[in-house]
Chains A and B, each alone.
Chain A
Amino acid sequence: MRYQLEGSQAIAKAVALCRPKVVCAYPITPQTHVVEGIGEVVRSGELSDCKFINVESEMAALSVAIGSQATGVRSYTATSSQGLLYMMEAVYNASGLELPIVMTLGNRAIGSPINIWNDHSDAMAGRDSGWIMLFAETNQEALDLHIQAFKIAEKIGLPVMVCVDGFILTHAYEPVDIPSQKEVDAFLPSYVPTVSLDIHKPLAIGTMVSPEYFMEVRYLAHQKQIDALQVICCIGEEFKKQFGRNSGGLLSEYKTEDAEVIVVTLGSIAGTIKDVIDDLNSRGKKFGVISIVSYRPFPADALKDSLKRAKMVIVVEKAFAVGIGGILSHEIELIMKDTEVEVFSIIAGLGGRSITKPMLQEYFLRKKYEKATFLGLKKKIIADKYEVRSCSNQEGSV
């Protein structure tokens, strides 16, 4: 059924439909409405056999989920930004222990300077953690991806992070179709753990692994991530078949068939980009858009297949590696290095800075692109800072 709902509420409904047995929460903006929503569902009795635990930190939130998932029940938590960093040790632990926990990441910038608004710095900080990372473009996708996330996680035996743009999606009211419990039950069978703490079959989970075995364990983790590409595709197809919506898979392509320039991005900004390129294409330009749904595992082959048809790739990214540049653009450059396709990077929307249609349009219509551009920089602020710096340098040299 269709509802006009806040993104966070839609996610909360989706998670509840997946019947988790343990949900733990520690508040951080902009993730709060998600866990409040689930807390409400649990306390009202709608999800009566679930334990909702208010914990004292993000470290505890994910640790509780590790404990409960290892005991054999479906477990969920959510966080953002500093919260992800605070639990980062447990983030790596959960994937190392191969626990199929699902976590929402309400994407937000990382301080200092402290900033509560949206960008993808938090997700990028977790990109090598071994989690599967899915990005949602709309609230409908956010809802759908959560339902798929549990299935993907449990099929592969790895945790899944569903990345949802903070405020832009989490706090936006949009129409969303919420499937019935029956439909979700038909798609997502109840969780049957492969390994769990069991008094009848006592085993030790999380033992120390010495240099003789460690390389192999890590290699197997690498292979497992790569194998996950296929699983994500299959479950995306399955979802489409059952729910009629194409919201999963590895990539979401828009007008890329004969595009000369393909814009690649992650998350909600793809919508605005689609509006911009529709305008441009109506004026004879040939732009297409790819939003990456599965950022981890990185769909290198699928991406390359689509991008090699274009002359140029522009990556719109909401995070960067300080002193290096775009992160996603670097990864794309790497896979395109044996082709003629040129890759350019727009770093935009940091710390919640608006990315507007005119800004993108102006960039896309430029005659020549820089390798990397910080979109919409206020030059005056930077010039003033440089002036201050050069003054103090002069003072320093006297």
Chain B
Amino acid sequence: MSSSTLSGESSKKNSTIQSRRSRNNSLTSGHRACQGCGEALGARCAIDAAYHAAAGKITVVNATGCLEVFSCSFPENAWNVPWLHSLFGNAAAVATGVAAALHSQGKEDVRVIAQGGDGATGDIGMGCLSGMFDRNDDVLYICYDNQAYMNTGVQRSGTTPPLARTATTVPHKNYAGSDPQTGKNVAQIAMAHEIPYVATASIGNIQDLEKKVSKAINIRGSKYVHVHVPCPLGWGYDTAETIKIARLAIQCGLFPLFEAEYGKLARSTAIEDPISIEDYLKPQKRFAHLFGKNASSESLDILRKIANSNIEKYRLGKTADD
């Protein structure tokens, strides 16, 4: 296609939906997200991919949180899709209602997305999310995980990694950030419901993110995509580094990319060029206390164990065949 040169697109085969002129700009420019916001990028890519895959027939339910706050402020809003915000903890249930209404109207070709941050998904919205999975409601739930309550000023959430500093887990003499042995794996919780499709994705791999959302949106029943979205404000890194940080998380094994079908691991993305966890943690101020004068190697071991366990559990290592 000649227009690809005009728009600077590389070969269509490898290009992302986001790089195409035909993208919908579902979350359009002019919103109020922070510079370098991972969640804004994640939502934009995910919803554009879904829009593309569902031929524009999508409806979005949004939980309260950063994404909701920065994307709409009466009388303006940045959404180019039908969009509904109700509350913090009920997005999954509201989406169930939307899907039920579409069903009763005979409009099942309109696909339903619920989206929210990690707090809205794994903490306050866990009940509604689990109920939606339990009923296998025809909704794609997308969680943008930046691992703390960023909207309220970086307090700990259920997906905050052990040892990370947040406003409510400030390191002190006897405390090194968020407590060890805490945190939950929402993708695994989703898998336990044996829903048709669960995937993890990251803005460090847009092609993979788009592929997974595109696949999920057209599956009937409950789908869950958990997207890793670094937050420069909450994590303490330079705003230009968001994608890089996301990639480092994948490369060190702390954020595994995988797909699961009906509760079983189906595919995972092997780490191309492995790095140490230190390479990922060091650029982030939320982990700075792990590297200072008083740092203990035990602390780093806790995170290293998680990364190693991920590599083993999700088969992220290169096999001999590769």
Q: Which residues of A contact B (CB under 8 A)?
A: 21-22, 24, 49-51, 53-57, 59-60, 63-73, 75, 89-90, 93, 97, 197-199, 201-210, 213
Contact = CB atoms under 8 A, between A and B. Distances in A.
Interface in B30-80: 56-59, 61, 68-69, 72-75, 77, 79-80
A203 B101 contact: no
Nearest to B81: A202
B68 A67 contact: no
A203 to B, nearest CB: 7
Given A59-B90, A66-B86, A204-B83, A22 B56 contact: no
Closest 4 CB pairs of A and B: A67-B97, A56-B131, A71-B101, A63-B93
Contacts, number: 155
B39 to A, nearest CB: 16
| Max chain A Cβ within 10 angstroms of own Cβ: one of B86, B105, B135 | B86
Given A64-B96, A199-B56, A202-B80, A55 B131 contact: yes
A209 B68 CA distance: 12
B89 to A, nearest CB: 7
Contacts of B87: 63, 89-90, 93
B170 interface: no
B101 A56 contact: no
22 contacts: A22-B97, A49-B104, A54-B135, A55-B131, A63-B94, A63-B96, A64-B94, A66-B90, A67-B101, A68-B98, A68-B104, A70-B97, A73-B101, A93-B86, A197-B59, A197-B83, A201-B82, A204-B84, A207-B74, A208-B68, A208-B72, A210-B74
Contact of B127 (A57, A73, A202, A205): A57
Given A63-B97, A199-B56, A210-B73, 10 more contacts: A22-B100, A51-B104, A54-B135, A59-B128, A63-B86, A63-B128, A67-B101, A71-B102, A204-B79, A204-B84
Contacts of B100: 21-22, 51, 53, 64, 67-68
Contacts of A56: 127-128, 130-131, 134
Contacts of A213: 74-75
A197 to B, nearest CB: 4
A111 B80 CA distance: 46
A96 to B, nearest CB: 10
A45 to B, nearest CB: 15
Contacts of B72: 204, 207-208
Contacts of A205: 83-85
Nearest to A21: B104
Contact of B95 (A22, A67, A207): A67
B103 interface: yes
A49 B58 CA distance: 22
B90 A60 contact: yes
A206 B84 contact: yes
A203 B72 CA distance: 11
B103 A51 contact: yes
B59 A208 contact: no
A238 to B, nearest CB: 27
Nearest to A197: B82
A72 B105 contact: yes
Given A60-B127, A67-B98, A68-B98, A207 B104 contact: no
B104 A73 contact: yes
B101 A68 contact: yes
Contact of B93 (A21, A59, A202): A59
A93 B84 CA distance: 12
Given A93-B87, A197-B59, A66 B97 contact: yes
Contacts of B300: none
B265 interface: no
Nearest to A202: B82
Contacts of A203: 82-83
A22 B84 contact: no
Contacts of B79: 202, 204
Contact of B90 (A70, A90, A202): A90
A90 B86 contact: yes
A201 B135 CA distance: 29
B110 interface: yes
Contacts of A63: 86-87, 90, 93-94, 96-97, 128
B86 A50 contact: no
A210 B134 CA distance: 37
Contact of B128 (A60, A69, A75, A197): A60
B93 A60 contact: yes
Chain B CB within 10 Å — which of A64, A66, A70 has the most? A64
B60 to A, nearest CB: 9
B131 A67 contact: no
A205 to B, nearest CB: 5
Contacts of A89: 87, 89-90
Contacts of B84: 67, 70, 197, 204-206
A390 to B, nearest CB: 44
B182 to A, nearest CB: 25
A115 B95 CA distance: 34
Contacts of A70: 84, 94, 97-98, 101
B96 A67 contact: yes
